[in-house]
Amino acid sequence: MPEEGVPLTPKADLLTTEEILTLARLFVREGIDKIRLTGGEPLIRPDVVDIVARLHQLEGLRTIGITTNGINLARLLPQLQKAGLSAINISLDTLVPAKFEFIVRRKGFHKVMEGIHKAIELGYSPVKVNCVVMRGLNEDELLDFVALTEGLPLDVRFIEYMPFDGNRWNFKKMVSYKEMLDTLRQQWPELEKLPEEESSTAKAFKIPGFRGQLSFITSMSEHFCGTCNRLRITADGNLKVCLFGNSEVSLRDHLRAGASEEELRRVIGAAVGRKKRQHAEFLLLLQDSPPAIPSIFSQDPFRVQGIRHRVSFSNQKATLWEGGWFPRTPLLAQWRLRSSCPQRHYSSHLDSDANPKCLSAVAQAPATPSGPLPTADQLTHVDREGRAAMVDVGGKPDTERVAVASAVVLLGSTAFKLVQENQLKKGDALAVAQLAGVQAAKLTSQLIPLCHHVALSHVQVWLELDATRHAVGIRASCRARGPTGVEMEALTAAAVAALTVYDMCKAVSRDIVLGEIKLLSKTGGQRGDFQRT
């Protein structure tokens, strides 16, 4: 909880009980068989028991779950169980009462523990305990959490710290799944992996002889986009098809405007059809194979999460899963793409219409403008007296601007192998460089004196390993709508990402070469489009 608290949504904006049930009924008819009430905190809603009871009456709904902070759980759980609640997740990030109060901004640790024991007493098994692991805050409690599973039927789920609006995410705070697993194996080397369930978001493990188990939600280091089938409806009725996406569709507004069931079905189907094959730009993606679609999140006090949608919706997104790893670029911009991909790929975002290619050692071709590109007969950033001056763009029309730039870092064999195996002492070079590139794009006007500030609508940064050259290939794309272009933002992103790779690897070798920093393409503006072959 932020120290200053969070603004509450006006009650009139929230879905009513009947609106929640109308939408739930529609989704269940379309094949959803699990609904989870989450938040925020769902147990502060006075009609929560009634909602569970009425959801329980829906034919075809197999599971009704709830995710709660646990403070009110012991008091309400007997009623909820009688109403039909079948699964429980409890959020608990620490077993230290004083630390709990610091994180949650209120007392209540003992009430949460009471709620956990009440759930066990009433026969819930497993009771899932969600723990977001943050370096410097609670990573020292991993062993204590796992020790709980020795005598209790718990599934302790360690969640990698993820970047969401307002949580002041910092890469250094994230503790990766593999780091957590290494820590636990030192204490329990007999730790064994359990088979993964279909569409599961968790990697499950068990210590032989323990009643419970533990799991990892690896949203950052090893995402589960390819098997995610979650949808969420926020407290105020917005459908979110992706945890990390900003796109939302207001089902509440359609309901209150009198939309028919068929109209709602079309709206939902179209939204699901736009679901991306991978989550948005702040997520770090490290994996061995192409993914499909991502998980979902909302910070509103009450959400309905639907799982296992049927063919009627999923068919509409099937076309988004075709193709492969990297976004398709215009033909003339594919100057360094090939089909033989190394094992590690990094991207800050992937579009749905993607192409399974990776950087290669194809020789650079000369630039070829795709349309009229008149050149100025004098520099635009100097005044009549030859002094530096910012260009006045006040009279220019706003147009859609997109630019793509690239860079290459030649590492040498030793540093390349360490990056490829993610064995650098400083950490994951690709992850840090990707974040640095995104951040640099947003700060370009502060780094380049005569650049205008541009309100970027989208930034993408890709880092790809090229084993033939022992190199890291970098590509950055920026998009904005405005009176001035974004090529400087794209070039800055690529260049700073390259510098970051150098910084991460310089302890291993100083014989690292940064080069080939150039604009690949740009669109929009009075001077026409440009594409490099």
Residues with Cβ within 8 Å of residue 37, at least 6 apart in sequence: 48, 51, 52, 64, 65, 66, 67, 302, 303, 304, 305
Phi and psi at residue 158, to the nearest 5°: -85, 125
Catalytic residue among 253, 503, 511, 529: 503
Is 503 assigned a catalytic role?
yes
Helical (H) or strand (E) element with 367: strand 367-368
Alpha-carbon span 144 to 277, nearest angstrom:
37
Count of positions (residues) in the chain:
533
Give Cα separations from 362 to 261, 359, 409, 473 (angstroms).
54, 8, 15, 12
Alpha-carbon span 203 to 157, nearest angstrom:
9
Tell me 44's DSSP state.
G
Query: Left (φ > 0), alpha (ψ -120 to 50) or beta: where does 141 sit?
Result: alpha
Alpha-carbon span 190 to 149, nearest angstrom:
15
**Of the candidates 40, 32, 42, which has an alpha carbon nearest to the alpha carbon of residue 5?**
40
Residues with Cβ within 8 Å of residue 74, at least 6 apart in sequence: 111, 114, 115, 117, 118
Alpha-carbon span 191 to 207, nearest angstrom:
5
**Of the candidates 90, 140, 93, which has an alpha carbon nearest to the alpha carbon of residue 114?**
90
**Of the candidates 83, 54, 284, 340, which has an alpha carbon nearest to the alpha carbon of residue 170?**
284
Q: What is the dihedral of CA 510, 221, 162, 111, to 10 degrees?
A: -130
Angle between helices 73-83 and 48-56 (to 10 degrees): 20
The answer to whether 501 touches 378, Cβ cutoff 8 Å, is no
Q: Encoding tokens for residue 86? A: 């079948």
Phi and psi at residue 193, to the nearest 5°: -85, 140
Alpha-carbon span 461 to 494, nearest angstrom:
8
Q: For residue 205, what are the β-bridge partners?
A: 193, 214
Place of tokens 């009229």: 372
**Sequence-ordered alpha helix ranges (H) in 134-221:** 142-148, 177-187
Active site (catalytic) residues: 503
